[in-house]
């Protein structure tokens, strides 16, 4: 049965299969014929509306003359994944992007984050997150505000699980000095950053005001590594929600952007000292 609302991950699988088909110079009708199906079936698979079996993924890859075994295995993993994570509980009560982001973080092999507006979501305290969500317009109903805060706090568990993926956060000094609520919340947030930075998989690095060569105020992003580089994904905030980027040229640009921002950040040890000094100033 066709899915009513495919996830971003399911849609991504469909796009990757379409890319392989188009690279092979085949039409959707021709590809469907290889599966003994009609063209509408291929359309549903490539839009993420319909699922696809491992056998079909491998058959299509063979007909498309794709010889990248790691990519094929990664696509099979996406096609056969039946994970129903905690985020499914929010499917009908929060916008789909909330579930898509949690699912992206769950499957990421590594995460690289740039924060130039707010503390990255996975590092936020509950009160900090509540202040951020309460500031959006139009004003959220109280129950939805609390659901968004709850969802963000549950996302944080991805950093604490066994064999958690490496997480590198680059945070600008302006973010650390901005009081989204009051002095108490600001101090608690800085303490939380210090605490999280002690995790073996978490690195927090500060970009100070006085560093030369930083023009990346608009560089806020989450770069999530896929099983293979071709399946990496970038999530960026937009005026009316989040945008997920996966075009190869744009991914390359985002990798370059992250490296540039990274050069402006001080080491994790110096960053902890920096945050401690800011805490004493509050």
pLDDT, one tens digit per residue, over 193-242 is: 999 999 999 999 999 999 998 998 899 999 999 999 999 999 998 766 78
What pTM value is reported for the model? Answer: 0.94
CATH assignment of 8-80, given 1.10.260.40, 3.10.20.740, 3.30.2020.30, 3.40.30.10?
A: 1.10.260.40
Residue 252: the pLDDT is 96
User: What percent of the chain has pLDDT above 90?
Assistant: 89
When the pLDDT of each residue in the chain is averaged and rounded to a whole number, the result is: 95
86-115 average pLDDT score = 96
Q: What is the mean pLDDT of residues 48-66?
A: 95
Q: Phi/psi class of residue 152: alpha, beta or left (left: φ > 0; alpha: ψ in -120 to 50)?
A: alpha
Residues 6+ apart with CB under 8 A from 224: 104, 105, 107, 108, 110, 111, 232, 233, 234, 235
Q: Where are the domains of the chain?
A: 8-80, 87-281
Q: What is the DSSP string of 222-246?
A: EEE--SSGGG-EEEEEETTEEEEE-
pLDDT tens digits along 8-55: 999 999 999 999 999 999 999 999 999 999 889 999 999 999 999 999
pLDDT of 275 > 90? The answer is yes
Rounded Cα distance, 50 and 17, in Å: 13
Which of 3.30.870, 1.10.155, 3.30.1560, 2.60.40 would CATH assign to domain 87-281?
3.30.870
Return the pLDDT at 116: 95
Position 282 confidence tier, pLDDT thresholds 50, 70, 90? confident
At residue 64, what are phi and psi to the nearest 5 degrees?
-85, 0
How far are the Cα atoms of 180, 250, 265 from residue 177, in angstroms, in the given order? 9, 31, 16
**CA–CA distances in Å: residue 268 to residues 40, 106, 212, 274:** 52, 24, 18, 10
pLDDT single digits (tens) 152-195? 999 999 999 999 999 999 999 999 999 999 999 999 999 999 99
């Amino acid at each position: 049965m066709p899915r009513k609302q495919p996830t971003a991950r399911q849609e991504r699988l469909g796009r990757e299969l379409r890319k392989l088909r188009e690279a092979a110079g085949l039409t959707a009708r021709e590809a469907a014929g290889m599966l003994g199906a009609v063209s509408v079936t291929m359309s549903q698979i490539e839009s993420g509306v319909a699922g696809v079996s491992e056998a079909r993924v491998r058959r299509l890859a063979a007909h498309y003359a794709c010889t990248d075994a790691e990519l094929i295995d990664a696509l099979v993993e996406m096609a056969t994944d039946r994970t129903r994570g905690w985020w499914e509980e929010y499917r009908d009560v929060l916008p789909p992007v909330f579930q898509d982001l949690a699912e992206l973080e769950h499957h990421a092999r590594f995460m690289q984050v740039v924060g130039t507006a707010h503390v990255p979501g996975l590092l936020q305290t509950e009160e900090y997150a509540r202040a951020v969500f309460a500031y959006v317009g139009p004003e959220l109903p109280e129950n939805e505000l609390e659901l968004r805060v709850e969802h963000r706090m549950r996302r944080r568990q991805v950093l604490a699980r066994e064999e958690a993926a490496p997480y590198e956060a680059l945070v600008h000094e302006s973010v650390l000095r901005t009081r989204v609520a009051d002095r108490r919340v600001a101090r608690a947030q800085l303490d939380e950053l210090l605490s999280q930075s002690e995790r073996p998989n978490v690195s927090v690095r500060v970009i100070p005001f006085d560093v030369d060569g930083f023009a990346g105020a608009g560089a806020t992003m989450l770069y999530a590594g896929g099983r293979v580089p071709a399946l990496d994904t970038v999530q960026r905030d937009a005026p009316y929600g989040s945008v997920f980027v996966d075009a190869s040229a744009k991914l390359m640009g985002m990798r370059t952007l992250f490296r540039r921002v990274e050069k402006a950040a001080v080491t994790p040890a110096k960053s902890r000292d920096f945050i401690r000094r800011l805490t004493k100033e509050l």
